[in-house]
């Protein structure tokens, strides 16, 4: 399947498995409550556990979130990269994505195929392509059968590096989860405290 097939599937409200700079992700249109519900159902994930979203670049991200100067400077420093940036969501993102929270995680993965897909598809959910509680998939062939069945398209980008993104709220200066590049993120936050 091609990136065009994947983008068309997102447009129709269907799900797509795609590679990232960490693990394989499960994408649905991040602005479509029905698609978001399909992601939660496929993963067996509690609806109160929010999803992040992914886009192709920081400028596109700013269409979906409100940020201050510090947050934008952080995004431009670390994205694309293995970082999830938590900021205030705009109304275009439904509460279903965030479990009713006003803040949302933003990903711009540093992976060529992912960026090509995101450029074509727009804002999609950024969550691992696995059933909740199971291991993350680093290869398309490792994606849980239930997720494969739920997805219309699987983009195979070979083996991914693995690991987790660092989840950070630069506006609050808080690292919620230390993952890839955590030391560099923490150093940036300390320098600008």
Return the pLDDT at 173.
94
- Average pLDDT by stretches of 10, the chain with 193 residues: 94 98 97 97 94 98 97 97 97 96 97 98 96 94 95 97 95 94 95 86
Interhelix angle for 3-11 vs 112-121, to 10°? 40
Cα–Cα distance for residue pair 60/23, rounded to 1 Å? 22
SS3 annotation, 81-107: CCEEEEEEECCCCCHHHHCCCCEEEEE
Give the pTM.
Answer: 0.95
Host domain of residue 64: 3-165
How many structural domains does the chain have?
Answer: 1
Q: Is residue 186 part of a domain?
A: no
Q: For 94-106, how does the pLDDT look when each residue is reduced to its tens digit (9 = 90+)?
A: 999 999 999 999 9
15-18 and 151-154: which strand pairing? Answer: parallel
Which three-class secondary structure state does DSSP give residue 125? Answer: strand
Question: Structure tokens of 146?
Answer: 């239930």
Q: Is residue 180 part of a domain?
A: no
DSSP-derived secondary structure letter, 29: B
Q: Is residue 93 part of a domain?
A: yes
Task: State the average pLDDT for the chain.
Answer: 96
For CA atoms 181, 182, 186, 189, the dihedral sign is positive
Residue 47, CA distances (Å) to 33, 40, 57, 139, 168 in order: 12, 7, 27, 26, 21
The CATH number assigned to the domain holding 30 equals 3.90.870.10
Q: For 43-52, how does the pLDDT look when each residue is reduced to its tens digit (9 = 90+)?
A: 999 988 999 9
Return the pLDDT at 158.
96
Contact predicate 54/124, CB 8 Å? yes
Q: Is residue 170 part of a domain?
A: no
């Amino acid at each position: 399947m091609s990136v065009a097939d994947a983008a068309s599937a997102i447009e129709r409200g269907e799900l797509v498995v795609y590679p990232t700079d960490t693990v394989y992700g499960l994408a649905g249109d991040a602005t479509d409550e029905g698609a978001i519900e399909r992601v939660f159902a496929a993963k067996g994930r509690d609806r109160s556990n929010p999803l992040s979203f992914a886009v192709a670049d920081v400028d596109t991200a700013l269409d979906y979130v409100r940020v201050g100067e510090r947050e934008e400077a952080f995004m431009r420093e670390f994205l694309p990269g293995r970082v999830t940036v938590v900021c205030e969501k705009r109304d275009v993102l439904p509460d279903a994505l965030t479990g009713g929270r006003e803040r949302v995680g933003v990903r711009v993965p540093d992976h060529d195929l992912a960026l090509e897909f995101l450029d074509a598809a727009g804002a999609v959910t950024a969550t691992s392509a696995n059933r909740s509680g199971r291991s993350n998939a680093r290869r398309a062939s490792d994606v849980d059968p239930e997720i494969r069945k739920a997805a219309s398209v699987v983009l195979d980008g070979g083996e991914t590096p693995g690991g987790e993104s660092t989840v950070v709220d630069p506006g609050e200066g808080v690292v919620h989860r230390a993952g890839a590049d955590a030391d560099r993120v923490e150093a940036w936050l300390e320098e600008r405290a």
